[in-house]
Amino acid sequence: MEFTRSNRTQIEARDEILSIDDTRVEELSTMPEKVLRLRGEVGTTCRLVLRRPGGVFSSEKLLTITHKRSDLRK
């Protein structure tokens, strides 16, 4: 498995972000607004609530993780 930012934060490709720092993403009207919430200031953290779809041997899960923001341009 390649080491990427998503590996470090436990986010998987099919995860759906439900909230960022206790703000539901459906309350954020535009994609740039959602991206700004995720990026934030480098070195700070954000709390994400994710919905992870179930697979063949597992059911859907709701996960809460803390993500340390980094410079996404690297």
pLDDT tens per residue across all 74 residues of the chain = 333 454 455 778 888 889 999 999 999 989 999 888 888 888 888 888 888 888 777 788 888 888 787 766 55
Whole-prediction pTM: 0.69
Give the start-to-end residue ranges of the domains of the chain: 5-68
Tens of pLDDT, residue by residue over 5-16, are 544 557 788 888
Give 12-61 as a DSSP string. Answer: -TT-EEEEETTEEGGG--SHHHHHHHHH-STT-EEEEEEEE---TT---E
